[in-house]
């Protein structure tokens, strides 16, 4: 998701994309780009210069998928406070239910 949404804005070289995304290893990014290229979401343009210059861009299909992902990310971001509130309410109800069904301690006799 991060790769496709980043590539919606512009094409990137590998190192630029890694910095843009942040927190991803070279190996993981390389594998992700290779998979996205294989699946038709990303185009890899390698220019035969020294040093090699490789740019990554989204294909039409990648743009469509990335725009849908970006919309989903925005939706989640817009509703995160409601998710936090729902979790807190759930945890309160669960704690109250668990406290009500807890068995009283058994008295020990010697």
For all residues of the chain together, what is the average pLDDT?
92
Q: What is the pLDDT of residues 19-42, one digit of tens each?
A: 999 999 999 999 999 999 999 999
Distance CA 88, CA 92 (A): 6
Residue ranges with strand state E in the chain: 12-13, 42-47, 53-58
**CATH number 1.10.150.530 is the correct assignment for the domain at 2-99:** no
Q: What are the structural domain ranges in the chain?
A: 2-99
Q: State pTM to two decimals.
A: 0.72
Residue 69: other Cβ atoms inside 10 A: 15
pLDDT-wise least confident of 10-19, 70-79, 96-105: 96-105
Neighbouring residues of 14: CB distance < 8 A, sequence distance ≥ 6: 29, 30, 33, 54, 56
């Amino acid at each position: 998701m991060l790769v496709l949404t980043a590539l919606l804005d512009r094409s990137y070289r590998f190192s630029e994309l890694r910095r843009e995304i942040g927190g991803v290893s070279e190996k993981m990014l390389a594998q992700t780009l290779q998979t996205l290229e294989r699946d038709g979401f990303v185009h890899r343009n390698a220019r035969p210069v020294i040093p090699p210059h490789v740019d990554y861009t989204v294909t039409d299909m990648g743009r469509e998928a990335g725009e849908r992902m970006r919309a989903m990310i925005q939706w989640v971001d817009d509703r995160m406070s409601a998710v936090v509130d729902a979790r807190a309410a759930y945890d309160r109800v669960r704690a109250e239910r668990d406290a009500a069904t807890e068995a009283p301690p058994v008295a020990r006799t010697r």
